[in-house]
Structure 1
Amino acid sequence: MIDATLRVVERDGVPGVSHRNIAREAGIPPASVAYYFDGIDEVLVATLLDSCETLILEMGRLRDEVAGDDARWAPAVAEMLASMVRDHRGRTVAEYELYLLAARRPALRPAARRWIEAASGRVGTGEDADEGAVTALLATIDGLLLQALIADEPPGREYFEPALAYLVRHG
């Protein structure tokens, strides 16, 4: 149901999310959605949390891959971001739509903050982590992704890398 909800958001936006549309996308009876979730906000929260957990796992994998090698970090993250807008554009748009919906729907705010808190922990390792630098990095990633999503053509790694490299050097 969670994957089906994300596909509905990807295709129709949040206004298209209903028990009926989720059920149709998942190939299940509409009553099944109502059985597991009390309301649409609950489905959206679960979908946003699932997306956050997927991103957290990806960040952890990436962190392990480039551990201790700052020179590899910016290119690796830049490639991940480029893939998000090139290979998984619809999913990325849907995730950001849910993320931004938290500004209007308080029920989604804890799920949206989960990404920020978890990503901060993944990036800011140890007690010497500069909280301001971590905040700047996450804000930069969000801004770059949003700008890339409205571009006529999805940008490649070369679009993301300079800003990320700058933050690594100065953060």
Structure 2
Amino acid sequence: MTDGRLLKGERRRRALLEAALRVVERDGVAGVTHRSVAAEAGLPASSAAYYFGSVDELLTAALVWAADQFSGLLRAAAAAPDPVAALAAALAAELAEERRPFVAAEYELYLLAARRPALRPVARRCVDDLAALARACTGDPAAVTAFRAGVDGLLLQALVTGATPGAGDIEAVLRRLLPAAAP
């Protein structure tokens, strides 16, 4: 396969993954079919089945892709001079109007892991990556657990209530959860 065809294939695969997240956001996981995702991506109906042999494979790949995005966000925050402030700013950006549907779709896929064991390793990676950032700020296991729960709680409550907390509000909560991470 030539490099050009490989790049085209990767672009199509990514377009299908992004489309799958849009379908999840709009119609829920139950709305994800090869046909609905291909239509959302503007690709032929057979495209989704070509890249993903089953809907479960497509959902798993979508969660992996979303988890990779979240891991990148966490790595960038961890590398910042003030990881907590950087994470707060990133989470506030995730809850902004244009990103909110994507976050809602990510959480729907994340929660699907409770019913589909094949998704659990990917969901667990999100939990572990968040814990790693917290452990870089504190050696207290209870604080790490509280931090993980707090981040999930902030995001889920914002999604459910429609609230859009600012970076300062999020940072205040995160610093309460990780007192050793004061600036």
Bin for the TM-score computed over the shorter chain: 0.7 to 0.9
Query: In the alignment, which residue of structure 1 is the partner of 2:33?
Result: 18
Structure 2 alignment gaps of length 5 or more: 1-15
Count, aligned residues? 165
Pairwise mapping of residues 40-59 of structure 1 onto structure 2 (< 5 A)?
Answer: 40-59=55-74
**1:54-77 Cα distance to aligned partner (Å, 9 max, x none):** 1111111111122xxxxx333322
Q: Is it true that 1:92 corresponds to 2:103 in the alignment?
A: yes
**Could you tell me the percent identity over the aligned residues?**
44
What's the TM-score once normalised by structure 1's chain length? 0.86
Query: In the alignment, which residue of structure 2 is the partner of 1:133?
Result: 143
Q: Is it true that 1:78 corresponds to 2:88 in the alignment?
A: yes
Query: In the alignment, which residue of structure 1 is the partner of 2:18?
Result: 3
Structure 1 alignment gaps of length 5 or more: 67-71
Query: Cα offset for 1:170?
Result: 5.3
Distance 2:174 2:130 in 1: 15
| AA matched with 2:119 | L
Summarize the Cα distance change of 1:88–1:35 in structure 2 as closer, same or farther, 3 Å threshold.
Answer: same
CA RMSD of aligned residues (A): 2.0
Alignment check: 8 A CA contact 2:77 2:84 kept: no
Alignment check: 8 A CA contact 2:74 2:129 kept: no
Query: Cα offset for 1:133?
Result: 2.1
Query: In the alignment, which residue of structure 2 is the partner of 1:124?
Result: 135
Please identify runs of 4+ aligned residues in structure 1 that moved more than 6 A.
Answer: none
Q: Is it true that 1:109 corresponds to 2:124 in the alignment?
A: no
Query: Cα offset for 1:18?
Result: 0.6
What's the TM-score once normalised by structure 2's chain length? 0.81
